[in-house]
Amino acid sequence: MSTGADGGSDGDTGQLPSFPTQGGRPPDDRGAWVTGPPAAPPAAPASGLASGQASGLAAAEAAEPGGFPPLAAWVVVRLVAGRELAIRLRSKVFVITTAAFLVLLVGASVVISLLGGHESAKSVGFIAAESVLADPLEAVAGGLGVDVATREVPDEATGLREVSDGDLDVLVTAAPSGLRVTVKEELSEDLRGVLAVLARQQVLDNEISVLGGDPARVNETVAAAGLDVAELDPVPDDQDERLFLGLASAFLIYMGLMLFGPAVSQGVVEEKSSRVVELLLSTVRPWTLMAGKVLGIGLVALIQMVVIAGGGLIAALTTGALELPSSEATGTVIWSVAWYVIGFFLYALPFAAVGAMVSRQEDLGGISSPIVLALIVPWVVGVSILPGDPDNGLVEILSLVPLFSPLLMPMRIALGVAPLWQLVLSVLLALALIGLLIRITGRIYHNAVLRTGARVAFKEAVRRA
Amino acid sequence: MANRRLEIDGVRKRYGEVTALDGMTFDVRAGELFGFVGSNGAGKTTTMRIVLGVLAADAGEVRWAGRPVDLAVRRRIGYMPEERGLYPKMKVRDQIVYLARLHGMPAGAARRSAEAWLERLGVAARRDDEVQNLSLGNQQRVQLAAALVHDPEVLVLDEPFSGLDPVAVDVMSQVLRERSAAGVPVVFSSHQLELVERLCDRVGIVASGRMVACGTVDELRRAGTEQIVVEVPGAPTGWALDLPGITVRHTEGDRTTVDLAPGADDQDLLRRALAAGPVREFRRRRPTLAELFRSVTTVPAVAGGSAAVPPALGHVVPGAGAAGPGDVPSPAGRSGPAGLTAPAGLASSGNDVRAADEETAV
């Protein structure tokens, strides 16, 4: 209190005429008084203010709280989720990580298609004298699945020069013992096999002719004799691609959960540390706030995953990096997205609960480490066991266990080793745990989110309010 | 209209061994500005948090218009928490619109109201800035906009004036008056007692989780000990010491301030003063709110609590007899008016009235 102001009212208790002697006052008096104070000229009431007064009075007459329609819980959840969505989709982190993942996947597809799948045909040259060998060579190479292109070279010297220049991969000429093969560095295994067969066949043809037989008929008979292979435990086609798809799916799920799970707890702590949670909870119920946050961040995570996985899938199929039937690849990707959503809820709910239990971002690391660990273990188990042993019994069992299933199941689905009943069972178990988690984490959040200061003990947080 | 009261009725709250609220009872009527004062830890913030439902009371009830306050009612309350709370990285306008919508306002109305209040509170130019980039004072204005944007039926503001510059204090005062003039009960806590005295229709003083004094400022001051200021140049020290019913509060230069017990004869004092020397000044005064506040809040709560209110006020200065002419004056211009001391030995507790309120940290 300033001494000056006090001096005025010091001597006389009656010097505050504006203060009524009785608590209540008729509205008329009040109106007169309100315009009285000489403080500052009242600012022109803004339009919102004017309407506010009007509706306030209207509400007063109705004696009914609330000038707006009642707010349904799902509307609150939608508002909260909408805020998360709006803020996070615009954030630099989201844009950059999404773009980075997309570039990574598309780039990988392009690189794989350049390196793998399309080895260009080997060019094999013959001098004119031996060009009769060209057709048998192509026939043998076709039988062995080796891609060759034959062509004639004018003479041996030209052929040798072309080989040393790299224009020609192989130059084949006749030699007393069979065939003479010239290459620049070394003869590739598959071509060596083709040429060896060709050389033997030339010799055989000669011998057959000498013995009076018909080489063409013999060759036909030989070609008809094949192997009848019985695979007791067949490896599906395109095993490497399946493995790649499985690992990529699991990796994206792992990264997504690692990014967005902690984002949930950070979001909760942000509201706690900035104290805005008190303002929020004076008007909405705790569970709607938590649900909105988890759903909002979950939607952001899903959007990112769909963009990345969709983009990656399209890139892989169009570049030919994946030669799997596109229906199979798409099925795997859709399952992965589904498991991502399930996994998000399994992890985001505990993340939200631990976020509510601390008041500062710094305290988050310690308290969320068990959840992070639960995320790392299945990832490590999956990538270290499944590539070498897709049918591993331990992984098969673990992949049914909620918290492990979101990372292990997509890998097994991609590898084609997950029977339908296991899929159904693992999903049901995961959903059951989610139901349980909603109850427990909701209670923890409710009990802990308004408590600031020291970390809230788990036992205290989880007890029934 | 008469029924539009916010009633806090016998609210109790304990934190383990600590009793934060011990039967807090008061009401705020429609169109009334109610000042809520009390020292740190007295229970103001706890009370407000219970009203807003962010804290559950152990016992007692909060009613609005005769009905227990539930979520639907709370949606119609404007609240400014003691710990300012806004999303640091959210833009000012987005934030206010979001909060308005959480209070049930339709999108269009929320936007219009947010714009209007930001304009009114002088932060419209910052509407697209993140809150964390605003000065503390501007953050405070945004916080008030957040409390007002949904056109609340009740306003509960915890320390709305702390940290505001004088212009902002004027704006805030004016807005609160306007709201109360529109029939909104406004309750706010503050340590700026002269402001409370100037602004409020009624004041409640809280100590140890109970309302120890509640009424208009006049009522409270009248109930306080009457004092007389006497200026007698050249009077011998201790000239007024031994009069019955008169307690010397302090002496500063030639001016002596004494407490006048009920029924004591001020004419005796005048005669004694005339005998001591020429009397230049002889006037009655009532304690200011700040003095009342100190005398009430520094005394251990009396059994019976809020029932013992106004009568207790006149007698709550134990050990005042020990105060003598040598008393140290309280720091002028802070919370005490010139020339008055708090009871000896208790002055220090009165001096930190405006220190940051840390009450009821959980």
> Per residue in A167-225, pLDDT tens?
888 888 877 777 888 888 888 888 888 888 888 888 888 888 888 888 888 878 877 77
**Residue-wise over A450-460: b if at least 16 C-beta within 10 A, else e?**
bbbeebbeeee
Q: Where in chain A is the domain with CATH 3.40.190.10?
A: 122-224
Residues 276-295 of A with CB under 8 A from B: 276-285
Cβ neighbours around A375 below 10 Å, total: 23
Chain A residue whose CA is closest to B334? A1
Q: Virtual CA dihedral for B264, B266, B272, B274, nearest 10 degrees?
A: 180
Q: Looking at per-residue confidence, does B325 or A301 come out higher? A: A301
B147 within 8 A of B70, measured Cβ to Cβ: no
* CA A375 and chain centroid, separation: 14
Which of A21, A45, A66 is CA-nearest to residue B179?
A45
ipTM over 0.85: no
A261 within 8 A of A425, measured Cβ to Cβ: no
Measured between beta carbons, the chain A residues lying within 8 angstroms of B217 are 16, 19
**Is the Cβ pair A3, B333 closer than 8 Å?**
yes
Evaluated on CA atoms A73, B28, B201, A67, the torsion sign reads positive
- C-alpha angle with apex B42: B38 to B46, nearest 5 degrees? 110
Q: Which of A84, A93, A276, A456 to mutate to test the interface with B (most CBs of B within 10 A)?
A: A276
Question: Does the pLDDT value for residue B145 go beyond 80?
Answer: yes
Task: Give the minimum alpha-carbon distance from B191 to chain A in angstroms, rounded to a whole number.
Answer: 10
A43 touches chain B (CB under 8 A): yes
Q: Which of B151, B153, B220 to mutate to test the interface with A (most CBs of A within 10 A)?
A: B151
Q: How confident is the model at residue B47 (pLDDT cuts 50, 70, 90)?
A: very high
* CA A116 and chain centroid, separation: 25
pLDDT in tens, B199-220: 999 999 998 888 988 988 888 8
Q: How far apart are CA B261 and CA B128, in angstroms?
A: 60
Q: Virtual CA dihedral for A262, A263, A265, A267, nearest 10 degrees?
A: 160
Which of A371, A348, A254 is CA-nearest to residue A297?
A348
Question: Does the pLDDT value for residue A44 go beyond 50?
Answer: no
Measured between beta carbons, the chain A residues lying within 8 angstroms of B151 are 48, 51-52, 55-56, 67
**Is the Cβ pair A34, B181 closer than 8 Å?**
yes
B272 touches chain A (CB under 8 A): no
Q: Which run of H or E residues covers position A150?
A: strand A148-153
Question: Does the pLDDT value for residue B324 go beyond 50?
Answer: no
pLDDT in tens, A68-77: 677 788 999 9
Chain A residue whose CA is closest to B166? A39
Mean pLDDT of chain A: 80
Q: Which run of H or E residues covers position A299?
A: helix A286-319
A38 touches chain B (CB under 8 A): no
pLDDT in tens, A343-389: 999 999 999 999 999 988 898 999 999 999 999 999 999 999 988 88
> Among partner residues B31, B117, B173, which is closest to A27 by beta-carbon distance?
B31
Positions of E strands within A26-147: 122-127
A322 within 8 A of A328, measured Cβ to Cβ: no
**Is the Cβ pair B217, A16 closer than 8 Å?**
yes
Measured between beta carbons, the chain B residues lying within 8 angstroms of A51 are 151
DSSP single-letter state for residue A98: H
**Is the Cβ pair B74, A283 closer than 8 Å?**
yes
B203 within 8 A of B220, measured Cβ to Cβ: yes
B92 within 8 A of B141, measured Cβ to Cβ: no
Cβ neighbours around A275 below 10 Å, total: 18
Measured between beta carbons, the chain A residues lying within 8 angstroms of B200 are 19
A57 touches chain B (CB under 8 A): yes
Q: Which of B45, B54, B291, B358 to mutate to test the interface with A (most CBs of A within 10 A)?
A: B54
Q: Looking at per-residue confidence, does B263 or B145 come out higher? A: B145
> Among partner residues B4, B81, B332, which is closest to A275 by beta-carbon distance?
B81
Q: Looking at per-residue confidence, does B225 or A116 come out higher? A: B225
User: Which pLDDT does position B265 carry in this prediction?
Assistant: 81
User: Which pLDDT does position A340 carry in this prediction?
Assistant: 95
Residues 56-95 of B with CB under 8 A from A: 64-65, 67, 71-77, 79, 81, 83-90, 94
Q: Which of A2, A3, A6, A91 to mutate to test the interface with B (most CBs of B within 10 A)?
A: A6
Report the percent of chain A where pLDDT is more than 90: 35
> Among partner residues A1, A68, A281, which is closest to B54 by beta-carbon distance?
A281
pLDDT in tens, B187-201: 999 998 889 989 999
Measured between beta carbons, the chain B residues lying within 8 angstroms of A449 are none
3-state secondary structure chain B: CCCCEEEEEEEEEEECCEEEEEEEEEEEECCCEEEEEECCCCCHHHHHHHHCCCCCCCEEEEEECCEECCHHHHCCEEEECCCCCCCCCCEHHHHHHHHHHHCCCCHHHHHHHHHHHHHHCCCHHHCCCEHHHCCHHHHHHHHHHHHHCCCCCEEEEECCCCCCCHHHHHHHHHHHHHHHHCCCCEEEECCCHHHHHHHCCEEEEEECCEEEEEECHHHHHHHCCEEEEEECCCCCCCCCCCCCCEEEEEEECCEEEEEECCCCCHHHHHHHHHHHCCCCEEEEECCCHHHHHHHHHCCCCCCCHHHHHHHHHCCCCCCHHHCCCCCCCCCECCCECCCCCCCCCCHHHHHCCCCCCCCCCC
Q: Looking at per-residue confidence, does A154 or B61 come out higher? A: B61
User: Which pLDDT does position A140 carry in this prediction?
Assistant: 80
* CA A227 and chain centroid, separation: 44
Residues 18-57 of B with CB under 8 A from A: 29-32, 49, 52-55
User: Which pLDDT does position A234 carry in this prediction?
Assistant: 66
Task: Give the minimum alpha-carbon distance from B276 to chain A in angstroms, rounded to a whole number.
Answer: 23
Which of B129, B126, B184, B122 is CA-nearest to residue B157?
B184
B158 within 8 A of B81, measured Cβ to Cβ: yes
Task: Give the minimum alpha-carbon distance from B94 to chain A in angstroms, rounded to a whole number.
Answer: 9
**Residue-wise over A128-163: b if at least 16 C-beta within 10 A, else e?**
eeeeebbeebbebbeeeebebebeebeeeeebbebb
Q: Give chain B's domains with CATH numbers.
A: 5-220 (3.40.50.300), 225-285+320-351 (3.30.70)
Q: SS3 for A127?
A: strand
Task: Give the minimum alpha-carbon distance from B79 to chain A in angstroms, rounded to a whole number.
Answer: 7
B227 within 8 A of B287, measured Cβ to Cβ: yes
Measured between beta carbons, the chain A residues lying within 8 angstroms of B174 are 39-40, 42-43
User: Which pLDDT does position B345 carry in this prediction?
Assistant: 34
Q: How far apart are CA A451 and CA A465, in angstroms?
A: 14
Evaluated on CA atoms A150, A153, A158, A160, the torsion sign reads positive
Q: Looking at per-residue confidence, does B307 or B112 come out higher? A: B112
Structure tokens at B241: 């010491």
> Among partner residues B94, B193, B361, which is closest to A1 by beta-carbon distance?
B193
CATH code 3.40.50.620 for A122-224: no
Q: How confident is the model at residue A67 (pLDDT cuts 50, 70, 90)?
A: low
Q: SS3 for A226?
A: coil
A9 touches chain B (CB under 8 A): yes
User: Which pLDDT does position B105 carry in this prediction?
Assistant: 92
Task: Give the minimum alpha-carbon distance from A285 to chain B in angstroms, rounded to a whole number.
Answer: 8
Chain A residue whose CA is closest to B89? A87
User: Which pLDDT does position A235 carry in this prediction?
Assistant: 64
Cβ neighbours around B243 below 10 Å, total: 18
B116 touches chain A (CB under 8 A): yes
B208 within 8 A of B42, measured Cβ to Cβ: yes
pLDDT in tens, B277-306: 888 898 888 888 888 887 776 654 443 333
pLDDT in tens, B12-23: 999 888 889 999
Phi-psi region of B80 (alpha: psi -120 to 50; beta: other; left: phi over 0): beta
> Among partner residues A22, A46, A71, which is closest to B119 by beta-carbon distance?
A46
Mean pLDDT of chain B: 79
Residues 424-463 of A with CB under 8 A from B: 450-453
| Mean of pLDDT values over A57-85 | 70
> Among partner residues A1, A23, A55, which is closest to B194 by beta-carbon distance?
A1
Residue B5's Cβ-side half-sphere holds a number of Cα atoms within 13 Å equal to 13
Q: Looking at per-residue confidence, does A453 or B87 come out higher? A: B87
Chain A residue whose CA is closest to B184? A56
A to B CB pairs, distance under 8 Å: 223
Measured between beta carbons, the chain A residues lying within 8 angstroms of B54 are 278, 281-282, 450
Q: Reduced to 3 DSSP states, what percent helix, strand and coil does chain A have, rounded to the nearest 5?
A: 70, 5, 25
> Among partner residues A20, A56, A275, which is closest to B184 by beta-carbon distance?
A56
Phi-psi region of B41 (alpha: psi -120 to 50; beta: other; left: phi over 0): left
B260 within 8 A of B228, measured Cβ to Cβ: yes
B337 touches chain A (CB under 8 A): yes
Which of A288, A374, A258 is CA-nearest to residue A83?
A288
Q: Which of A1, A277, A446 to mutate to test the interface with B (most CBs of B within 10 A)?
A: A1
Give the position of tokens 């005669």. Answer: B271
Helix A73-89 / helix A286-319 crossing angle, nearest 10 deg = 50
Q: How far apart are CA B111 and CA B303, in angstroms?
A: 51
**Is the Cβ pair B29, A281 closer than 8 Å?**
no
Which of A437, A459, A458 is CA-nearest to residue A347?
A437
User: Which pLDDT does position B181 carry in this prediction?
Assistant: 93
3-state secondary structure B243-300: CCCEEEEEEECCEEEEEECCCCCHHHHHHHHHHHCCCCEEEEECCCHHHHHHHHHCCC
